[in-house]
Amino acid sequence: LTLKDNHVRRALSNSRSVFFKDATARTTDIARVMNIQAKDIVEYWVEPHPVDNLKVHLVSGFGNCGAQRDSKEQRKKGLTEASLPQRLIKGVEEIVANKRAEASKLGKKIKIAVIDFMGQLKNYKHIPGIDYFGYWWVDNRGTNELTDYDVYIAVGNPSANFGAMAAEFRTLTGKYANPANPTGEFKEYIQHSIDSEKLQFVGRPRAHLQPHKQKDVYLLGDYSQHLEYKLKQQFVGVKIEKLTAFDLTPDAATRSDRDTRKAIELAMRWERMGQKVTQEGLAQEMGCSQSWVSKIFKRLSPERGYKEVIKLFQSLNNLFFRKWNNSDNPMDGLSDEVRWIAETYFPVLVSDLINGDELASDLIEVVDIAR
C-alpha cells in the first residue's frame, strides 16, 4: 500500500491473514490454493497513478506465437520468408527502425528492449539498435532493470506447458481439463495466465514514475478483449493502439492477409471511382488466380454471394468516408460483417475515425476524384 488509509489499516490489523498480491493475481486463484472460499477474502485496491505518457500497441496477425513456431525440419533448412519467425523478425526490425528514426529527427537517443521465449531470442540478435534482450517469466516480472528504457517489444503469448497447467487446474479445482483441447473454465484459466504476464510486462517501464518520458510498449501476438479491459483498468490514462502485422510492414503479414487487404482496397477504390468490381479484374491487377480472389471473397462473407460482397465494399467506403456526411458515430449501425472486416484489416483507420483524426491525404485525393 502506497497511500495512507486508516480504514484499510484497521481492516488489515483485524484480519486473520494478510496477503500482499500483485495486480494480476485473482482472489479466486488464491482461494483455490488455500482451499478456502473466495468470499472470505476481502480485496483492497489502491487507486493507480495516471500514465498519460504510456502507449500500448497491440499487434495482431501473428497468431498465438508460442514457444514452438516451426518444425525441426524447418529449423534445419532455415527460415523461409513466409515462416512465422521470419515474419516476426520483419515486424521487430520495422518497429526498431521506425522508433530510431523518430528519435533521430528529434535529436534524441532512445533505448529499446525486446523479450521473447528464450529459444527464440537468437532470431533478433542481428538487428541493430536493440539494447536489451530478455525472456518471458524473468524479464517481464519483478524487475526494475528496464525502467529507463523507452521502447519495449514483447513477442508471443507466454503460456506454460498445457499439460502442466491442466494438472495444476485439476488439483486446484477437481475438474477435468484437456490440455489438447482447452475449453470452458480451463481455457479461461490459461488466458488469464497469459494476460497476467503481458500486464506485468506493461508495468516494467514504471511510466507513472516518469511522467515526463514517453513510453511505448509493443505486444506482438493475438490478444484477448479482456487484456484491453485490464490495461485500461490498471493503467489509467494509457493509450491503446490496435495494429495488424501488415500495418508494421507488409512483409510481416501472411500472404493471405496481404492479398485480402489488397483486394479490399482495390475494390473500394474501384467502387468510389465508378469502376465495376470483378474477381477477374482483381486477379489481373493483383497478379494471382481468379480462384484465389474467390477464396478471399468467401473469407470475407462465407454465406453471401458476389453481389452481397460488393455491398460490403460499398459499406466500407461509407464507413471510412462518412465524415464527409458529418456523422459523429462512424461505427454505429454497421453490420457484423462490415464491423469485423474494418476492425480486422483496418484497425488504424477505425481508430482514427473514432478519435476524429483527419483522413490521410492520399485518401482525400481519391475521394476528390470520385466526386
Mean pLDDT of successive 10-residue segments in the chain (371 residues)? Answer: 56 67 73 78 75 96 85 59 88 97 95 95 95 95 91 94 91 89 92 93 94 96 91 93 94 93 92 90 93 90 80 84 56 78 85 66 42 35
Same domain, 276 and 320: yes
Q: What CATH code is carried by the domain that includes residue 163? A: 3.40.50
Q: Which three cell numbers stand for residue 336?
A: 457484423
Last residue of a domain, one of 252, 269, 287: 252
Strands (E), the chain: 54-60, 112-116, 132-135, 151-155, 215-220, 239-244
User: Does 332 fall in a domain?
Assistant: yes
pLDDT for the residue 128: 96
Q: How far apart are CA 188 and CA 193, in angstroms?
A: 9
Q: Which three cell numbers stand for residue 354?
A: 473514432
pLDDT for the residue 366: 41
Same domain, 244 and 158: yes
Same domain, 229 and 280: no
pLDDT for the residue 371: 35
User: Does 147 fall in a domain?
Assistant: yes
Return the bridge partners of 152, or none.
Answer: 113, 217
Q: How far apart are CA 95 and CA 97, in angstroms?
A: 6
Same domain, 265 and 229: no
In 3D space, the residue among 337, 295, 297 whose CA is nearest the CA of residue 316 turns out to be 337
Q: How far apart are CA 222 and CA 59, in angstroms?
A: 7
Same domain, 186 and 286: no
Q: Which amino acid is at 154?
A: A
Same domain, 207 and 124: yes
Number of domains in the chain: 3
Same domain, 142 and 115: yes
Same domain, 309 and 213: no
Distance from chain centroid for Cα 282 = 30
Tell me the torsion sign for CA atoms 361, 362, 365, 370: negative
pTM of the model: 0.83
Range(s) of the domain holding residue 105: 54-252
Number of other residues whose CB lies within 10 A of the CB of residue 263: 24
Same domain, 265 and 243: no
Last residue of a domain, one of 252, 283, 307: 252
Same domain, 74 and 208: yes
Are residues 70 and 87 in contact, defined by beta-carbon separation less than 8 angstroms? Answer: no
Last residue of a domain, one of 252, 279, 294: 252
Are residues 157 and 191 in contact, defined by beta-carbon separation less than 8 angstroms? Answer: no
Torsion angles phi and psi, residue 17, rounded to 5: -135, 145
Same domain, 193 and 214: yes
Strand 132-135 with 54-60, pairing = unpaired
Same domain, 120 and 195: yes
pLDDT for the residue 327: 54
